[in-house]
Amino acid sequence: MTARMTWGSDWQGSKWLWPATRRRLKKRDGGVCIYCFDSEDLSIDHVDPTRPGKSKRGDNSPTNLITACMTCNRKKARRSLEEWAQILGPLTGQDPADIIARVKQKLAEPLPPREPS
């Protein structure tokens, strides 16, 4: 049986992101924006939007996806992680190197196990 996908919050760029994968990403990332720690209006961001993949926005593997609030996701746009950290750091009082290290650490973590159906 094929899962039925509908328009809504599970649409990610030009590719579908399965709801279970989205939940597992948010769980891995602690349910907050990895950039600013906001817990409202969360989305999924391509850390490296130029990384080769089937999507025009970059590879859709968990090693390239991170939880981000819509504000950070929109402002980051197609910037590299390094460029975004240099912009975000002064705005939030964070060291850009800490932002980069935190994101890379999360990307290296495996996704939590699938929940039983």
How far apart (Å, rounded) are the C-alpha atoms in residues 76 and 68? 10
Instruction: Look at residue 6 in the predicted model and tell me its pLDDT.
Output: 42
pLDDT digits (tens), the chain, 117 positions: 444 444 444 444 445 678 888 999 999 999 999 999 999 999 999 998 876 655 555 678 899 999 999 999 999 998 999 999 999 999 999 999 999 999 999 999 999 998 876
Closest CA to 69 of 27, 21, 34: 34
Instruction: Look at residue 41 in the predicted model and tell me its pLDDT.
Output: 95
- pTM summary value: 0.78
Domains of the chain and any CATH numbers: 32-107 (1.10.30)
Instruction: Look at residue 12 in the predicted model and tell me its pLDDT.
Output: 45
Instruction: Look at residue 53 in the predicted model and tell me its pLDDT.
Output: 58
Instruction: Look at residue 8 in the predicted model and tell me its pLDDT.
Output: 43
- Supply angle C-alpha 109, 110, 116, rounded to 5: 145
How far apart (Å, rounded) are the C-alpha atoms in residues 96 and 106? 16
